Structure 1
């Protein structure tokens, strides 16, 4: 049976482990954005920065940041959970993507993994989620993230009607001294 928000929510052990990845399965009550072509976006969770995760009718998972960026990040809910577990810093990979360069994204992922705080805690949470959900690992989580964001044509709008921008950001690993040193 494919992983769904309902299946995940009913697994209290997995839900507890996912907190280590800054993922809450409690959506906001008040919508603060709209999605073109979707009457009532189904928010399935949020992160600590105020971003929202939305399960679209196509089963794609959309991320809407509180900073005005949005895009598809996974093709299914299960792929979304696999991504979050493999790359808890997935949003930073996009921040340091040099405008959507896959090679730079892979470089960012390696540097971010090397700089993880509480690496043992994260690895324990990874193992805990995978065991609780019998979840496999993605072969190429960074490639899957790139493919999802690059193909994203979903338009998200703020309450004033202005469109959100892409999740790819212009920064590179070299823009951040800590990441630059970790990538060296």
Structure 2
């Protein structure tokens, strides 16, 4: 898969991976099988970004993933937040599979500096024992999952997409949200959505 695949390529890669249940469980990511432009989750959304952005996946709770023309990955959640979360799809996989409960990390990326943000995130991980849970059997709805633990699923997802090994996935997420959104604005029914963590 190229460095900056389009929406159709991403959907095809995910659907041919044999890892769709694991990708959904680990990343909260489910490809759009219906024609994306007419999906109900997109009603009322307006993206002020370079023309040509395209939706390609849902997050399981009413949010949507989009790829921008330059390859950046934009997430719009169902709670009034949005933002670019990675510079390209491979790094998105590296971040999302590299952080336990990566969506929770988005709550912390609005802190004033990355050191404070990371410390608060690490405290959250410790409080909820997120890292130890990675090596335990899936806590729920495991019937459709063929890989035994979240940790093994994360590894399989990273390998399949040839995602880079990031020494600091939290730092990469912090950088993406705080450095890659200057030209991106998202509105829902005319109201501008806030950037993650703000």
Q: TM-score range by the shorter chain?
A: 0.7 to 0.9
Partner of 2:65: 53
Q: 1:24 to 1:93 in 2, by over 3 A?
A: same
Partner of 1:176: none
Check conservation: 1:23, 1:45, Cα contact below 8 A. Answer: yes
Q: Secondary structure at the match of 2:18?
A: helix
TM-score computed with the length of structure 2 as normaliser: 0.73
Aligned equivalents of 1:43 and 1:66: distance in 2? 15
TM-score computed with the length of structure 1 as normaliser: 0.78
Aligned equivalents of 1:100 and 1:64: distance in 2? 22
Q: Are 2:101 and 1:73 aligned?
A: no
**Structure 1, unaligned stretches of length 5 or more?**
170-184
Q: 1:84 aligns with which of 86, 96, 101?
A: 96
From the two aligned structures, give the one with the greater helix fraction. Answer: 1
Partner of 1:158: 188
CA RMSD in angstroms comes to: 2.4
Deviation at 1:42, TM superposition (A): 1.0
Q: Are 2:56 and 1:44 aligned?
A: yes
The size of the alignment, in residue pairs, is: 168
Runs of 4 or more, structure 1, over 4 Å off, are none
Equivalent runs, 1:1-184 vs 2, <5 Å:
1-2=1-2, 4=5, 5-6=10-11, 8-21=13-26, 22-26=28-32, 29-30=39-40, 31-32=42-43, 33-39=45-51, 41-97=53-109, 99-114=111-126, 115-116=129-130, 118-120=133-135, 121-151=149-179, 152-153=181-182, 154-159=184-189, 161-169=190-198
Residue by residue over 1:151-171, the C-alpha shift from the partner in whole angstroms, topping out at 9 and shown as x without a partner, is: 212100012x110011024xx
Q: Secondary structure at the match of 1:12?
A: coil
Q: Secondary structure at the match of 1:95?
A: coil
Aligned equivalents of 1:37 and 1:12: distance in 2? 30
Deviation at 1:37, TM superposition (A): 3.9
Partner of 1:177: none
